């Protein structure tokens, strides 16, 4: 759950900054970007993974899937089969990172 909330925070934060810089939208979007990116970092820190690097690596797979959902829903661009294959492989990698048995 924390990975998905983190992805939402990162996507909203980055999009808000994108809209301000690239689309010359309201500078108030910078405040939304900062708040969203802080929320992203807080959520990622709450993940149950015990090693930060492993949490960040596993999060990357979840982020890829969330970014494609964003692309389809917000940008109205349908992911192609290569997008979906890449996201599936990344998500599989994230699952392996998080759920593989570890030796102490």
Of the pLDDT bands very low, low, confident and very high (cuts 50, 70, 90), residue 103 is confident
Taking alpha carbons only, the member of 89, 87, 90, 85 closest to residue 57 is 90
**DSSP-derived 3-state class of residue 79:** coil
pLDDT at 55: 83
What's the whole-number average pLDDT of the chain?
A: 91
pLDDT digits (tens, 9 = 90+) for 64-85: 989 999 999 999 999 999 999 9
| CA dist., res. 55 & res. 76, Å (int) | 30
pLDDT at 2: 86
Percent of the chain at pLDDT exceeding 70: 100
Of the pLDDT bands very low, low, confident and very high (cuts 50, 70, 90), residue 1 is confident
pTM metric for this prediction: 0.79
């Amino acid at each position: 759950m924390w990975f998905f909330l983190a992805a939402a925070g990162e996507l909203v934060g980055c999009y808000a900054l994108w809209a301000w810089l690239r689309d010359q939208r309201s500078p108030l979007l910078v405040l939304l970007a900062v708040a969203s990116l802080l929320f992203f970092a807080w959520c990622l820190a709450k993940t149950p993974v015990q090693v930060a690097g492993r949490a960040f690596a596993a999060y990357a797979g979840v982020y890829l899937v969330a970014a494609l959902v964003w692309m389809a829903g917000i940008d109205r661009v349908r992911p192609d089969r290569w997008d979906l294959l890449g996201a599936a492989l990344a998500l599989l990698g994230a699952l392996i990172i998080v759920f593989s048995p570890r030796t102490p």
